[in-house]
Amino acid sequence: MKILLLEDDPNRVEQFQQRIKELNERNNVASILVHVETAKDCIAQLETDKFQLVLLDHDLGGEVYVPIDNTNTGSEVARWINKNPEKINGTSVITHTFNPAGAKNITELIPGCFYVPAIWTKDKFHTYIKIS
């Protein structure tokens, strides 16, 4: 499984890396985590590569409760996905932000996207992320 993670918090990135390691060991697979910290870099990855799972934070650059019209947010990525749905055909998308307005905007823009705050925690990650 190839996973794209948009996240700016180093502690959360470390948690996601640990969860991927556990997922790989549990399922005897070699999932790959591609980590980006900006909306621009996330969109660039989506334009050029195929992922089975995309994990989107909303508030980036160390800021919190960023307005949804800001261009360096998960909402910007969601707007791009909304205009380019063929780029994520068959890809699961989860937003994990603590910003409720950002989460609402992302889930409204991306059909099938769901919201799981703090998905990087062990119990939540292994509940929501499955290898088939």
Given a contact cutoff of 8 angstroms between Cβ atoms, the answer to whether 34 and 50 are in contact is no
pLDDT the model gives residue 118: 85
pLDDT the model gives residue 132: 55
Given a contact cutoff of 8 angstroms between Cβ atoms, the answer to whether 52 and 59 are in contact is no
Task: State the angle between helix axes of 74-83 and 100-109 in degrees (0 to 180), rounded to the nearest 10.
Answer: 10
Sign of CA dihedral 45, 67, 96, 62: positive
SS3 15: helix
pTM of the model: 0.94
Which class in CATH covers the domain with range 2-128? alpha beta
In whole angstroms, what is the distance from residue 13 CA to residue 6 CA? 9
Query: What residues contact residue 28 under an 8 Å CB cut-off, 6+ apart?
Result: none
List beta partners, residue 6.
36, 56
pLDDT the model gives residue 78: 98
pLDDT of the chain, 132 residues: tens digit per residue: 999 999 999 999 999 999 999 989 998 999 999 999 999 999 999 999 999 999 999 999 999 999 899 999 999 999 999 999 999 998 999 999 999 999 999 999 999 999 998 888 888 888 888 765
Domain ranges of the chain: 2-128
